Chain A
Amino acid sequence: MLLHKRPLMASAIGALMVPLLAMPVKADHLDVDISVIFDAVYFNELSHGNDAPAGFSGGHDHGHSHDHGHGHGHDHGFDDGFNLGHSELAVEATLGSALVGSLMLGITEDEIEVEELYVQTLSLPSGLQLKAGKFLSDVGYINSQHSHDWDFVERPLVNEFLFGDHGIQETGVQATWLAPSETYTLFGVELLQGKTSGIANHIGAQSPEHGQARILEDVSGPRLITGFVKFAPDLGADNAAQIGASVGYSRSYQVTDGHSTRNEDWNGTATFAGLDGVFKHDAGGSYGHGDWRLQAEYFYRVQDVDRRDVNFAEDSRGPVGHVRNVQSFKNEQDGLYVQGVYGIAPRWEAGLRGEALGLTNDLGRGDGASEDTSYRYSAQLTFRPIEPVFIRAQLSQEDFASDHGREKGVNFMLQLNVALGAHGAHRF
């Protein structure tokens, strides 16, 4: 459901919310938790850099530049000045001890989107759990987190550009099994519809161009399968850690792009694999003083496609329906980030993050090209005056490669985030 600029629907949801919020949020007979996450960001571009990292502007690189806030390019979605960030309405309810249901609406200035809507079993034996609906995939570490749980304002580049603007957020089913071992060991498999732009972009069959068939075809869902394992040793009272490995395969990855006289079509598959780790130290100080945590993720993605272009207008190469650029190729790309956050004083945190995108950046289109690596460095300072509120200042330097050379852009962000109502406990 995407309510794009539909004030009627939005106000209808608003009217529904008001009586719900007016009720005591945790009535015993209901067992429903409702919360609103308010998020606002003041954004200031101090210097303008390249808009998109080389090799990642959309499904493939044409050397076009994309403006901020448009297209598939780098879209942090912020205008210079005040922005309503990514606010959320979350409703969670249990059906006895059998099921838990969760609805999470993402609210931006002009749309309300269902980010998650799922039910999950609680009562299956032997460590098995099933989840069905729309949810954030549990691959990697940050992919399943909502933005108010992040330590930095922006989604990591590797998650945004290898997967999509919302990471892997798909409709499907998930099965997990927690091994009955001393050490936490979780295995999971997900069967997903397959719409995520970076690994499972699906367009479907196209009408022929003047009798000339184009190569894209319908591939029925589920098209994307993922698997993951998470391992978390018990490190005692002061420390905790989790490491994970994830893989995924999409049996359909499709791209189409219109040029001046021809449509360029890619039809193929995509595969990814990655590692993630987090280490948290609890110093036992008051309000997080002395606590620190380190978090890192690496993902590698291969798009394996057949390409075939068809003229929709006559040009020097041929008439309408002329076929050219028939080739098969692979794009192999990766990215990583490492971040650390330290509780510098009670209720104050400071953090640093370094990101690299395209350490491997081999594009097979045409004669093939190896693009340079893009980087981003961020520093943040966060203050939590009371538990449900944080104010974060962040400075990010984007050092993006592009066809016309490297350019550095610097952005300043000031974020205000408030959790209202009965917000569920945070995951590790």
Chain B
Amino acid sequence: MRIVSKNAQQPGFLPGAALIVAFALILCQPLKVSGAEPPLRVVTTTATLGVFAASVGGDQVDVRVLAPPDRDPHYLEARPSFMAALRRADLLIEMGADLEEGWLPVVQRGAGNPKILTGNSGHLRAADPLHLRPSITMEGPNLGHVHAEGNPHFHIHPGLMRRVLFDVAQRLSELRPTHEQQFRHQARTLARDLDTHVEALITQVTPGTLMLTYHEDLDYLAEWLPVKDVGHLEPLPGIPPTARHLQRLVAELSDQPSGVVLHAIYQPGQGAEFIKERLGWRTASVRMEPPVDGDFDDYLELLSELASAVSH
């Protein structure tokens, strides 16, 4: 503001050039909030990571989520607006394990911001320290996605995401050491809330419930709920369900007790309906992410929805 008013008092001196310089300065150096440090600019790929960053970081972070919560995070495009978001970011948090492999590397390279490149201090891959469930892409023929590091859809597994809370706190502490206590305290509080919430959910589900899922993106439910994962509607990850594959599933499961077929809201429901007609299984179309700009309760609510989808 100071620069603009100064130029306004001297209209005779190259006003056009001065205006351009003023605009450039405003563009390059967004006005600093006097006194307090400006919030860290955190960009996350998914809405769950956005909730985690915002919940741990509190008033010290300004969070932008790239992937809309109702879209498959495998299939996003490397949009220029994503690059603009990363251009000024202090920290990029991704799930990793190749979940965002189809678009994020191009966005990182196009952002012109060395901080958020893989391996640098402004980049956090949630999957890296975690022991992931093996992806079925690691066994059979590689036709669709290949997730050599394991199944990347662990955001619905509280046991692993608990660790992510502390990893986010650790990284935020490195970027803003003055608030380390605040970040660690938040992570501990949130982890406790998560533990309490999950204990209650586990008791809701009848042990041994059979579960079919469309893709391997809901497999992690079997890691913490007493359900049994008995297969996928896709013959191979990334390959749409075929009649032959669905019929084989029906044949295999015909002598089993009835279970539930789950698919994400952005996946077609015909395959689940087929199983419902033949075997009388329940079907459920489920949200995969909390809303963008949601809080930690929205994440807990998402877990509740998933648990009730398999239990009712």
Chain A nearest CB from B236 CB (Å) reads: 9
Known: A122-B109, A122-B114, A177-B112. A184 touches B81 (CB 8 A): yes
Which chain A positions have C-beta within 8 A of B71?
237, 282, 284
Q: Is the CB of A180 within 8 A of B111?
A: no
Q: Is the CB of A386 within 8 A of B114?
A: no
A219, CB-defined interface residue at 8 Å: no
B130, CB-defined interface residue at 8 Å: no
A179, CB-defined interface residue at 8 Å: yes
Known: A127-B87, A284-B70, A387-B144. A424 touches B105 (CB 8 A): yes
Within 8 A of B (CB), among A349-391: 386-387
**Chain A, residue nearest B98 (CB):** A26
Which chain A positions have C-beta within 8 A of B119?
96-97
Known: A123-B114, A237-B71. A428 touches B238 (CB 8 A): no
Taking a contact as CB atoms closer than 8 A, the residue among B77, B81, B88, B267 that contacts A180 in the complex is: B88
Which chain A positions have C-beta within 8 A of B70?
237, 284
**Chain B, residue nearest A31 (CB):** B118
Q: Is the CB of B238 within 8 A of A97?
A: no
Chain A nearest CB from B143 CB (Å) reads: 6
Q: Is the CB of B79 within 8 A of A182?
A: no
- SS class, residues of chain A in contact with chain B: loop
B106, CB-defined interface residue at 8 Å: yes
Which chain A positions have C-beta within 8 A of B83?
178, 184
Given the complex of chains A and B, what is the CA–CA distance between A238 and B76 in angstroms?
11
B231, CB-defined interface residue at 8 Å: no
A183, CB-defined interface residue at 8 Å: yes
Taking a contact as CB atoms closer than 8 A, the residue among A96, A128, A232, A386 that contacts B81 in the complex is: A232
**Chain A, residue nearest B28 (CB):** A180
Which chain A positions have C-beta within 8 A of B42?
none
Within 8 A of A (CB), among B2-61: 27-28
Which chain B positions have C-beta within 8 A of A240?
77, 79-81
Chain A nearest CB from B261 CB (Å) reads: 16
Chain A nearest CB from B306 CB (Å) reads: 20
Q: Is the CB of A178 within 8 A of B109?
A: no
A287, CB-defined interface residue at 8 Å: yes
**Chain A, residue nearest B26 (CB):** A181
- SS class, residues of chain B in contact with chain A: loop
The digit string for B53-91, where 1 denotes a CB below 8 A from any CB of A, is 000000000000000101100000111110110011000
B258, CB-defined interface residue at 8 Å: no
Q: Is the CB of A125 within 8 A of B27?
A: no
Known: A100-B109, A123-B114, A386-B143. A183 touches B84 (CB 8 A): yes
Taking a contact as CB atoms closer than 8 A, the residue among B68, B112, B240 that contacts A347 in the complex is: B240
Q: Is the CB of B144 within 8 A of A97?
A: no
Given the complex of chains A and B, what is the CA–CA distance between A428 and B239 in angstroms?
24
Chain B nearest CB from A93 CB (Å) reads: 13
**Chain B, residue nearest A235 (CB):** B81
B120, CB-defined interface residue at 8 Å: yes
Which chain B positions have C-beta within 8 A of A186?
80
Within 8 A of A (CB), among B112-133: 112-114, 117-120
Known: A232-B84, A424-B106, A425-B104. A123 touches B117 (CB 8 A): yes
Q: Is the CB of A387 within 8 A of B238?
A: yes
Q: Is the CB of B112 within 8 A of A127?
A: yes
A286, CB-defined interface residue at 8 Å: yes
Which chain B positions have C-beta within 8 A of A100?
109
Given the complex of chains A and B, what is the CA–CA distance between A386 and B143 in angstroms?
8
Q: Is the CB of B112 within 8 A of A128?
A: yes
Taking a contact as CB atoms closer than 8 A, the residue among A24, A235, A428 that contacts B77 in the complex is: A428
A233, CB-defined interface residue at 8 Å: yes
B295, CB-defined interface residue at 8 Å: no
29 contacts between A and B (CB under 8 A): A97-B114, A97-B118, A97-B119, A97-B120, A122-B117, A124-B112, A125-B114, A127-B113, A178-B110, A178-B112, A182-B84, A184-B80, A184-B83, A186-B80, A232-B80, A238-B68, A282-B71, A285-B266, A286-B266, A386-B144, A387-B144, A424-B105, A425-B104, A425-B105, A425-B106, A426-B78, A426-B103, A427-B106, A428-B77
Beyond A26-B148, A425-B78, list 5 extra A-B contacts (CB 8 Å).
A96-B119, A127-B113, A234-B81, A424-B106, A426-B78
| Closest CB pairs A-B (n = 9) | A232-B80, A127-B112, A237-B68, A234-B81, A184-B80, A184-B84, A97-B117, A178-B112, A425-B106
Interface residues in chain B, defined as those with a beta carbon under 8 Å from any beta carbon in chain A: 27-28, 68, 70-71, 77-81, 83-84, 87-88, 101-106, 109-114, 117-120, 143-145, 148, 238-240, 266-268
